[in-house]
Structure 1
Amino acid sequence: MSHRHQHTLSQSTARSEDVDSAASTYVASAESSKFPSLDEARREAGPDGRRHYDDISDDGEDDLDLQELDPLVLHPNEQDEAPPPPQDAVAVKEKPVSWSQLPRKSQLTILTLARLSEPLAQTSLQSYVFYQLKSFKLPDGSSPSDETVARQAGMLAAAFTGAQFTTAMFWGRMADWERMGRKRVLLVGLIGVAIGSLGFGFSQTFLQAVVWRCVGGLLNGNIGVMRTMISEIIREKKYQSRAFLLLPMTFNAGVIVGPLMGGLLADPVGNYPGLFGPGSALGGEDGVYWLTRWPYALPNVVNACFLLVSALALVLGLQETHYALKDRPDYGLRLSRWVGSTIFRIKPKQDYLAVNKHDPSEAVDIERTAKTPKPAIRRQLPIRRIWTANVLCALLSHGLLAVHIGTFSNLWFVFLSTSRYDPSTSASHPTPRATDDPPNHYRPHLPFQFTGGLALPPPSIGTALAILGVIGLSLQLLLYPRLSFRLGTIRSLRYALCLFPISYALVPYLSIIPSTRPPPGPASGALVWIGITLILCVQVMGRTFALPANAILVNNSNPHPSVLGTFHGIAQSISAAMRTLGPAVAGWIYSIGLQKGIVGLAWWCMAGVAVVGAVAGRFVKDGDGHELWLEGEREELEEENDSART
């Protein structure tokens, strides 16, 4: 028997844990006919779980489990050469999957690039949005106070996520629709965010900024579709911890680059007068006109360009994963193959070929099967039937996680930008000078009654936000893979959820750490930055383990493969609703806290929400992605499997 066949035989019993691999993938095609679904394998496996059908090798190709092949399908001279499986094979413990073992890396790379472009656009504005809102004059011509800006920042964040909430389920349905598909929905989302970014950068009033943020949110349902595509590209659970880590890891990369880029490019005339100001080499006598009139447009123009490049890569390289659309002609892929072969003389790679009945990934199976059946279009589960107990628990935990993580992202840069409390100024003004001042005769009283932020400028805010990304990316690359492999998905989520209340409760105390510069100047010094780094370590540690584990559990709680895109759309709608409600309410509570002289009020409320989320996480279970079966579906699968074996 060939070495490849022996390798498959020896591993088939060793991977007893892989029987319950990601059943959220739903491919009703020739591939699913040759490879019975994971649920079919689960049904036929029996209590010892020794039968395996869907075994993906390290090079990404699909291998049949030779234990289940009809003897006539094997080569005649190899039938008697198969050795019996070792008795102790089940006891062999698998090693964590490495990045190099992930299948279909080219498709994951394109999804990663598309995902990176969005956090760049969303996080870059956090470095300067406080000051951009300050530049929007009130109807009376005055500048808004810190309290007003805090409320407006919450409303601005809520505008994007609120718009997402209204359309996320719609885009999920569009991704499941045979006339639209996953790829086209992603393309609309990238172009929509680019349009919203350009409009936001050229806004001159708060209302204009809100409108353009809504435009970007309405057209963007990408995160749910990306999770759907990853679950369809990566089908085994042993690869899921790595594959689903790509999205939060890419987000952290965007968190590093985005705030730094936003802080460096915001108000270039004011920050770099020698380059863009009056009398400069690029600005001429009066400076660069459009950068003078719209000082916060440049980072948004750069973001829009990156989004359009990502959209182009998606058109030319990404394959459709919808089971009913794999045979649909893709003119973008055809164009990329033509350009590569004609202009650059590059032979098209397998990963970039349109998936159809002549897919070369099936070459290994041609010698084992006589004929490939045509794709079968299966019925969809009605929406009213998806609300199982595990679905409700998973979505509740998902929503609570989204509300406090989304609120942290918004409230963090507001706190860093808030003016510091100056006792001398407060004593010399017996009455409040602005609505965000503490009450008359205010005296701080620890541990809860104190106020003020850190008053950091945009470049320092960008650095503080980039620290968050650096810590997250480092943990995801160095610690997460091995530790999550040992703990498992469920325990990774439950332990991580316990870290969030600690970090949120400690954030306000950064304002009372001794600084090398007195107020009202920005806080500075080693102690301040050590405190920022330690708190971010705790928060990012929780986020690093909670987000991918939560994504896997939500994906696996999907009750039927036919509604996978819709289900992720529902999950994104819930997430968007929570990320709309959280920043808006937190901004309002934060402004009340500034008035009362208790800057930690919003943070401690958020810590309470995180405690509730940790409790809810204990009720989530790991599903199989196919909890419900439609009438006659099992019989259809049995007929397909029987025809594939003959």
Structure 2
Amino acid sequence: MHAAPTNHPRHDAQLHLNHIDANSRGSTCPGADRDGAITSSTKDDGSHPSTPPLAPGLDITRHGRTSSDSPFDDSDDDDDAEDTDAVIDSSNEKPVTWASLPKKGQLAILTFARLSEPLTQTSLQAYLFYQLKSFDPSLPDSTISTQAGIMQGSFTAAQFLTAVWWGRLADAEWMGRKRVLLIGLLGTCISCLGFGFSRSFAAAAVNVGVMRTMISEIIEEKKYQSRAFLLLPMCFNIGVIVGPIIGGSLADPINSYPHLFGSGSFFGGKDGVWWMERWPFALPNILNAIFTFTAFFAILFGLDETHEIARYRSDWGRQVGRTLARFFSRRRVPGHYRRLRNLEDNESLCMDGSVTSRSAPSSPIRLQALPRHKRLGFRQIWTPNVLLTLLVHFLLAFHTSAFNAMTFVFLPTPRAPENSRQGFFHFGGGLGLPSSRVGLATAIIGVIGLPLQIFVYPQIQSRLGTLTSFRTFLPFSPLAYTLMPFLVIIPRYPWLVWPAFTVVVGLQVISRTFALPAAIILVNNCVTDPSILGTVHGVAQSIASAARTLGPFIGGWGLGLGLKNNLVGGIWWALALEALVGWLLLWTIYEGKGIETRKDRREGAQEG
């Protein structure tokens, strides 16, 4: 019998069974599925450098034991057991739900780390203008606005310059995904503190650039699809809601809470808290640094390496994490073998290492490790579909970032005089909202986005598919951009302005909810080889960063030009045209089959 290979999530070796003997030699005790496929690895002979030295036999107690729900433990919410069940009986497929996501512990750790970017960025936006003003109070507001634009540009510019190299490092065998994440989180933590304690614009700009550089690689490891990919934009909406609250409430605490930190206060004593007076914007950055440092330890102790070669490297952090998980769970791991779940009665596992089956003829077990593949060069990566997919990714990042930047300039801009309108399309001004109302508008974006991402997107995406849902909902963006400037001609009654604003912004949020994860999935699935996954994502991140650098700059410049010439809608309609071009390009690309499918095909070819 020629058995189908089984890919255990902990090992990357292909095992072949040819006619298992009922009483074959008992050097190991691997588990067998219904087709006779081995579910573990035997002892490595050291003949291949990419294959790790494996312990004899299979520690199958992981598949049958009850363990802690901690993400630091091996169980990962019984993820390995779920994987084994999927191999043993693939006919009993269940609908994909949030609860059925594999490796929920690993996803939770990645999401926790990923949340550090939107929290840091949106928290910074809440007080950036006032911090820059504190560096030199004599500067006019126009200069402060220019500095704020440079500061925001340094985020994406640094990411644009370095994301490819972070991706290359993530693909390197000596580095791997996890080490890159750890370096990024540690650097982000340090730069957060550096920015909070900055005393000049130059120092703040350098620290923000480093912060974005280090944050950029956090999203390199995008290995899950559908709901899992949705976790990344969900983090943005959470950050949009929570970040401004953290930044606005904790910035300049002596003036905000004089009874707690000022002179004669509870914490300040006679003269107040001296370091808060010297660095009034350090407190929110300290909190962000603590959050990021916590994520660093979560990655160190709880995250598994996923690089195809580096995953076999000894990881002392995970060993400590497993020890801590066992200690706090207060459960002893059984020291004996157990039957795999759903294993048929005519198969049994033996302590002496043999696999017995009444129906299996005899033949020795043959182990063949997967060969190491040479990493492709840059020129071998760029197929037409990859290039078009990256172009779509660029256009999407451009108009979404431009919309965000333009909206929060458009909202507080004073309304134009009534007699300034010269036609249906020839008008100027903004909505004239106070700063408190601008914060409410920010919260609306997050409040609309979260329920859509959690409840609506997974259902529709599972029915329509990634590319079809992308094509269906992206047109909502150009529609929103077309309607946005017409809000200024609505009378300034709150019962008219806010519903209209919510509808227009809701259209863009709906479009973004489906477009952003779809763009990530399409980039992920157009990769031709697993060894270049981090590189391609690094290039995609650099392209998106370039778009997010150009989008706010061009959008702000065009909005200012429109306000000056009483044609505020011009830049919005140009943005709608750009989004429409991106939608047309969606009909020229196709969704790749993904790395996992290609792995299976390669293994099938080797087996044959």
TM-score normalized with structure 2 length: 0.77
Q: 1:176 to 1:142 in 2, by over 3 A?
A: closer
Matches within 5 A, 1:346-357: 346=331
Gaps of 5+ in 1: 1-11, 13-24, 36-50, 68-84, 232-239, 350-357, 425-440, 517-524
Counterpart position of 1:489: 466
Counterpart position of 2:425: 447
Q: 1:262 to 1:376 in 2, by over 3 A?
A: same
Residue range with higher mean Cα deviation, 203-212 or 568-577: 203-212
Q: 1:127 to 1:460 in 2, by over 3 A?
A: farther
2:276 is equivalent to residue 291 of structure 1? yes
Q: 1:99 aligns to what SS in structure 2? A: coil
Q: 1:552 to 1:32 in 2, by over 3 A?
A: farther
Counterpart code for 1:571: A
Contact 1:157 1:584 in 2 (8 A): no
Q: 1:461 to 1:268 in 2, by over 3 A?
A: farther
Q: 2:281 aligns to what SS in structure 1? A: coil
Q: 1:272 to 1:627 in 2, by over 3 A?
A: closer
RMSD: 3.9
Contact 2:241 2:442 in 1 (8 A): yes
Counterpart code for 2:512: R
Contact 2:425 2:569 in 1 (8 A): no
Distance 1:533 1:272 in 2: 33
Deviations 1:21-52 (A, max 9, x none): xxxx99995455579xxxxxxxxxxxxxxx9x
Q: 1:32 to 1:490 in 2, by over 3 A?
A: farther
Counterpart position of 1:504: 481
Distance 1:282 1:599 in 2: 49
Deviations 1:214-271 (A, max 9, x none): 11122233254221xx24xxxxxxxx21221122222222222112222222333333
Counterpart position of 2:524: 555
Distance 2:230 2:16 in 1: 30
Q: 1:531 to 1:223 in 2, by over 3 A?
A: farther
Contact 1:61 1:103 in 2 (8 A): no
Counterpart position of 1:603: 572
Q: 1:109 aligns to what SS in structure 2? A: helix
Distance 1:173 1:479 in 2: 35
Shift of 1:213: 1.5
Matches within 5 A, 1:630-645: 637=603, 640-641=606-607
Deviations 1:40-96 (A, max 9, x none): xxxxxxxxxxx9x9x9999233644789xxxxxxxxxxxxxxxxx9xxx9xxxx874
Distance 1:361 1:124 in 2: 49
Q: 1:373 to 1:362 in 2, by over 3 A?
A: farther
Counterpart position of 1:175: 170
Counterpart code for 2:214: L
Counterpart position of 1:201: 196
Counterpart code for 2:453: Q
Residue range with higher mean Cα deviation, 205-214 or 318-327: 205-214
Counterpart position of 1:163: 158
2:279 is equivalent to residue 302 of structure 1? no
Counterpart position of 2:414: 420
Shift of 1:387: 0.9
Q: 1:475 aligns to what SS in structure 2? A: helix
Distance 2:380 2:529 in 1: 10
User: How many percent identity over aligned positions?
Assistant: 44
Q: 2:311 aligns to what SS in structure 1? A: coil
2:316 is equivalent to residue 331 of structure 1? yes
Contact 1:223 1:572 in 2 (8 A): no
Matches within 5 A, 1:402-417: 402-416=397-411
Distance 1:508 1:638 in 2: 57
Counterpart position of 1:9: none
Q: 1:442 to 1:287 in 2, by over 3 A?
A: farther
Shift of 1:546: 0.7
Contact 1:58 1:102 in 2 (8 A): no
Q: 2:305 aligns to what SS in structure 1? A: coil
Q: 1:249 to 1:627 in 2, by over 3 A?
A: closer
Contact 2:14 2:367 in 1 (8 A): no
Distance 2:281 2:333 in 1: 42
Distance 2:8 2:155 in 1: 31
Matches within 5 A, 1:133-532: 133-137=132-136, 141-145=138-142, 148-227=143-222, 230-231=223-224, 240-342=225-327, 345-346=330-331, 367=355, 370=365, 372-374=367-369, 376-416=371-411, 418-421=412-415, 423=417, 446-457=424-435, 459-515=436-492, 525-532=494-501
Q: 1:380 to 1:103 in 2, by over 3 A?
A: same
Q: 1:304 to 1:243 in 2, by over 3 A?
A: same
Distance 2:476 2:249 in 1: 32
Deviations 1:512-556 (A, max 9, x none): 54446xxxxxxxx34333233222211110011111111111111
Contact 1:28 1:375 in 2 (8 A): no
Q: 1:253 to 1:372 in 2, by over 3 A?
A: farther
2:112 is equivalent to residue 113 of structure 1? yes
Contact 1:188 1:219 in 2 (8 A): yes
Distance 1:626 1:338 in 2: 33
Deviations 1:152-183 (A, max 9, x none): 43332221111111111111111111110000
Shift of 1:347: 5.0
What is the count of residue pairs matched by the alignment?
Answer: 528
Distance 2:431 2:200 in 1: 25
Distance 1:599 1:505 in 2: 11
Q: 1:634 to 1:196 in 2, by over 3 A?
A: closer
Q: 2:208 aligns to what SS in structure 1? A: helix
Counterpart position of 2:21: none
Shift of 1:383: 1.7
Q: 2:312 aligns to what SS in structure 1? A: coil
Q: 1:280 aligns to what SS in structure 2? A: coil
Distance 1:626 1:119 in 2: 29
Counterpart code for 2:573: W
Contact 1:263 1:462 in 2 (8 A): no
Distance 1:602 1:154 in 2: 18
Q: 1:611 to 1:134 in 2, by over 3 A?
A: farther
Counterpart code for 1:474: P
Deviations 1:337-383 (A, max 9, x none): 2233346635579xxxxxxxx9x999979859946544532222222
Matches within 5 A, 1:85-96: 96=95
Counterpart position of 1:99: 98
Q: 1:471 to 1:527 in 2, by over 3 A?
A: same
Contact 1:203 1:209 in 2 (8 A): yes
TM-score normalized with structure 1 length: 0.73
Gaps of 5+ in 2: 18-34, 40-78, 350-354, 357-363
Distance 1:319 1:557 in 2: 24
Contact 1:150 1:588 in 2 (8 A): no
Q: 1:391 to 1:607 in 2, by over 3 A?
A: same
Distance 2:81 2:499 in 1: 42
Counterpart position of 1:75: none
Counterpart position of 1:38: none
Counterpart position of 2:55: none
Shift of 1:614: 1.4
